[in-house]
């Protein structure tokens, strides 16, 4: 479903905010407002949107905003209401990265205050003015295969960071500001459950924005970290994040409210990647199977090893499927469950991943690792072993992510 109303994007001058604003224009919004502290960037983006907009009566405007100043945010929201009578979609892509790397004992008050002022208070100011302007609007409606339905009075999506869910060393000021922003968003969503106004959050990980590019220039080692930490071994493209934001804001997600979109979808992606590694391993093992069967005729140990090889791979596949199922279920329906199910789901998944990981590791650890060079006629087996070790890495990451989910469920009721 296209989002064909009026979209206000705060932080539309670059990065994820820019791609989101352009996507709204491309997918049929009748008006897109580009608001940014950098008015030149907002003007350029607004002009660019005219060439890709698909609505016949498309309108666009660029406005300057400073999210640290609530009056500035109010002026933008009031101007949008004055021009277009309503705001259907508001996206808040506001924030700055950490300025210095420091452990807890060495955090500077000036940096802490700056990040709180922009990353947390800036989000608060946006929500305050957008909620005031949007919650009492007439509901909008969408036509679906099952008829006409209300999609509420409007939709707000706030973009924070993976650091709003998971902490990292030497980033106290940044992490604290993002956790604070997430608390603000969750509270606002809870307060507006009955108003018809939907409020959701997207927490991107590493995304190829100017902020990340500048960080890599300062610290090239970040590239290696991205390749190790991200399931696809690369940073996300801004338009990939924009597609998630557009979906959450639009009519297709009209039953989604108060959600944080990051952890469970990342877990699902990890499970898919692990499944691919398991498939590669099983395919290569099958190529090696004939040689193993010949050995099995004269060695019961060889037959036992063959059977155990497939058993461990099957364990991995079943566990990955279970983790994928749970992550998708919680991402789509988590807010409809009570506290106990949201607590039990990660606990059960942690147990399953732990035993699968130990089962696989117990057999595969040291099979051919440490051997210099390739073994004669064992290329397929060695390739299978490499894929299996990658599978174990995936299970490790899933284990940590589900532990994070469990902790979040206990501490903040996630």
pLDDT top residue among 243 and 337: 243
Residue 1 has pLDDT above 50, yes or no: yes
Treating both helix axes as pointing N-terminal to C-terminal, what angle do 263-298 and 379-412 enclose, rounded to 10 degrees? 150
> Residue 393 — very low, low, confident or very high, per pLDDT cuts 50/70/90?
confident
CATH number of 6-261: 3.40.50.720
Please say whether the beta carbons of 185 and 127 come within 8 A: yes
Q: How far is CA 324 from CA 1, 275, 354, in A?
A: 26, 10, 15
Mean pLDDT, range 12-22, rounded to an integer: 93
Highest mean pLDDT among 64-78, 141-155, 212-226, 372-386: 64-78
pLDDT top residue among 152 and 197: 197
Which region among 35-44, 267-276, 356-365 has the lowest average model confidence (pLDDT)? 267-276
For residue 12, give the 3-state DSSP assignment.
Answer: coil
Burial of 119 (0-12, 13-18, 19+ CB in 10 A): buried
Q: 58, 112, 121, 174: which is the annotated catalytic residue?
A: 174
Mean pLDDT, range 143-150, rounded to an integer: 75
Highest mean pLDDT among 55-59, 273-277, 361-365: 55-59
Paired strand residues for 34:
9, 62
Instruction: Indicate if 266-412 has the same CATH topology as 6-261.
Output: no
Q: Is 288 one of the annotated active-site residues of the chain?
A: no
Please say whether the beta carbons of 27 and 3 come within 8 A: yes
Sequence-ordered list of residues with C-beta below 8 angstroms from that of 115, at least 6 positions apart, any chain:
96, 98, 99, 173, 174, 176, 177
Fold of 266-412: 1.20.120
> What does the pLDDT read at residue 377?
42
Mean pLDDT, range 146-166, rounded to an integer: 82
Q: 89, 178, 186, 288: which is the annotated catalytic residue?
A: 178
Q: How far apart are CA 154 and CA 257, in angstroms?
A: 11
If you write DSSP's letter for every residue of 379-391 in order, what string do you get? HHHHHHHHHHHHH
Which region among 111-120, 156-165, 264-273, 274-283 has the lowest average model confidence (pLDDT)? 264-273
Domain ranges of the chain: 6-261, 266-412
Q: Is 174 one of the annotated active-site residues of the chain?
A: yes
70-121 per-position pLDDT tens digit: 999 999 999 999 999 999 999 999 988 888 888 899 999 999 999 999 999 9
287-301 per-position pLDDT tens digit: 655 655 565 555 555
Residue keyed to tokens 């003007």: 43
Number of H helices and E strands in the chain, helices first, is 13, 9
Q: How far apart are CA 26 and CA 23, in angstroms?
A: 5
Question: What are phi and psi for residue 125, nearest 5 degrees?
Answer: -60, -45
Highest mean pLDDT among 53-57, 221-225, 263-267, 338-342: 53-57
> What does the pLDDT read at residue 93?
94
Question: Mean pLDDT for the chain?
Answer: 79
Mean pLDDT, range 195-224, rounded to an integer: 78
> Residue 365 — very low, low, confident or very high, per pLDDT cuts 50/70/90?
low
Please say whether the beta carbons of 29 and 4 come within 8 A: yes
At 150, which helix (H) or strand (E)?
strand 147-152
Quote the pTM value: 0.65
């Amino acid at each position: 479903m296209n989002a064909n109303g009026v979209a206000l994007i705060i932080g539309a001058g670059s990065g994820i905010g820019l791609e989101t604003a352009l996507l709204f224009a491309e997918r049929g919004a009748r008006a897109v407002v580009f608001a940014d502290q950098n008015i030149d960037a907002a003007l350029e983006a607004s002009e660019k949107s005219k060439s890709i907009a698909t609505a016949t009566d498309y309108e666009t405007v660029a406005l300057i905003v400073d999210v640290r100043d609530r009056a500035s945010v109010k002026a933008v929201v009031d101007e949008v209401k004055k021009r277009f009578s309503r705001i259907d979609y508001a996206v808040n892509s506001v924030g700055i990265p950490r300025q210095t790397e420091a452990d807890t004992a060495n955090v500077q008050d000036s940096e802490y205050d700056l990040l709180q002022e922009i990353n947390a208070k800036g989000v608060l100011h946006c929500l305050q003015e957008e909620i005031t302007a949007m919650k009492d609007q007439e509901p909008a409606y969408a036509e679906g295969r099952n008829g006409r339905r209300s999609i509420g009075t409007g939709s707000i999506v706030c973009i924070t960071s993976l650091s709003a869910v998971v902490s990292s060393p030497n980033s106290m000021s940044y992490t604290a500001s993002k956790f604070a922003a997430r608390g603000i968003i969750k509270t606002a969503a809870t307060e507006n459950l009955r108003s018809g106004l939907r409020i959701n959050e997207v927490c991107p990980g590493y995304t190829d924005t100017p902020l990340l590019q500048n960080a890599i220039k300062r610290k090239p080692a970040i590239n290696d970290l991205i390749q190790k930490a991200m399931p696809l071994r690369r940073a996300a493209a801004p338009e990939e994040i924009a597609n998630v934001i557009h979906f959450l804001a639009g009519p297709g997600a009209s039953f989604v409210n108060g959600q944080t979109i990051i952890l469970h979808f990342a877990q699902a992606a990890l499970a898919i990647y692990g499944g691919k590694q398991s498939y590669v391993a099983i395919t290569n093992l099958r190529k090696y199977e004939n040689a193993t069967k010949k050995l099995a005729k004269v060695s019961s140990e060889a037959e036992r090893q063959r059977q155990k090889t497939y058993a461990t791979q099957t364990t991995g596949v079943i566990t990955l499927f279970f983790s994928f199922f749970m992550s998708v279920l919680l991402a789509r329906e988590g807010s409809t469950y009570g506290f106990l199910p949201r607590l039990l789901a990660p606990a059960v998944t942690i147990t399953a991943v732990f035993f699968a990981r130990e089962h696989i590791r117990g057999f595969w650890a040291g099979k051919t690792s440490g051997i210099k060079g390739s073994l004669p006629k064992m290329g397929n087996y060695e390739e299978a072993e490499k894929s299996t070790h990658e599978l174990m890495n995936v299970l490790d990451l899933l284990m940590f992510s589900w532990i994070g989910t469990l902790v979040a469920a206990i501490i903040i009721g996630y």
